[in-house]
Amino acid sequence: MALVLGAVIAVVAISAGNRLNLADVLAATPLLACARCNGRLTVLAAACAIAFCAIVSVVSSGAGTASVAYRFAIVGGAGIFAVLASVVRSRREGTLIEISERVQRAILRPLPAELGGVAFASHYQSASRQALIGGDLYDVAVTEFGPRLIIGDVKGKGLDAVGRCATVLAAFREMVSAEPDLVRLAELMDGQLAQGMEIEDFVTVILAEFGPGEVRLVNCGHHPPVRLAAGAGQLQVLTAEPAVPPLGLHPRPHRQDVELKPGDRLLFYTDGLIETRDRAGRFFALDRRVAAALGEPDLDAAVLRVVRLLLEHAADEFADDVLLVLATPV
């Protein structure tokens, strides 16, 4: 946009000749670039602005030496200021990103490879090349009722989303070992979270409790997990009926009991997985390719294979973060 703007200004300035002095407006080119570009690209934009200024000065033969020097001083000064502003902004953004990533790593602890007879593998794929943090969350805890997992997605992104993630995980960690009823756990979390949420805030979550031969699920507004039975080549979507709204919107949750045998695999995910589009606008499908990927002997390899399928589908361009958690009884 900055270079196109500079080119348009140069053409208009040449066309207007001496009737209208627009060469000074070329200073807007580096100033526009510094708002989004790094230092190197801003230097390029400033150099192009000076080149456009030189072209306009040569073509506008009626301009005097003093006028030409004035034009170069204005455009060159704006370029120097833009480069300095870009460097300062880039460094500040880099520092904030680093702080945000450290905060997220402190909040989202790595899942154990195995806990309470259940093996886990996970992957977090950021939608931003700068690895800006989002609102996806997960955690697992061992309790006397069996291993319990939470996966969710809070509304929003950035530092506000991180704060909400921390609040949700704090509520889960505080109550997960004390409340025997999974439905009641969701209700207690909703009551605590609703007190600190704005009227339009919410968080979609799934609470999972693993027991002998089964998994008990409470889904509050989240995309349902999928199960790959041992030896099967097709995924089963574990849709819960009736649908329940997210936490923060006063849901009335219910429990769903699902058979889970040794060798079966359960994939939990956030909406970034199935809402990712390709260049033709088609959503990512949980089809036989995903089922084959999840059938990999190693859990970590299975998750990474799904991620590769997603990257190929999206051509490395994501609109939302993606969190995957794969679980299987051992």
Phi, psi of 27 (to 5 degrees): -60, -20
The beta strand positions in the chain, using DSSP E, are: 114-115, 118-125, 136-143, 146-154, 203-211, 214-220, 226-228, 236-237, 256-259, 265-269, 322-329
Cα–Cα distance list, 301 to 103, 181, 319 (Å): 27, 34, 24
What is the tally of helices (H) and strands (E) in the chain?
8, 11
What pLDDT shows up at residue 244?
93
pTM of the model: 0.73
Q: Are 318 and 127 in contact (CB under 8 A)?
A: yes
Specify the pLDDT at position 16. 65
| Domain boundaries defined on the chain | 2-101, 108-329
**Coil, helix or strand at residue 210:** strand
| The predicted structure's pLDDT at residue 142 | 93
- In this prediction, the residues of the chain whose per-residue pLDDT falls under 70 are 2, 13-24, 60-66, 100, 104, 127-134, 157-159, 319
- pLDDT score for 228: 95
pLDDT for 269 equals 96
- pLDDT value, residue 51: 84
Architecture of domain 108-329: 4-Layer Sandwich (3.60)
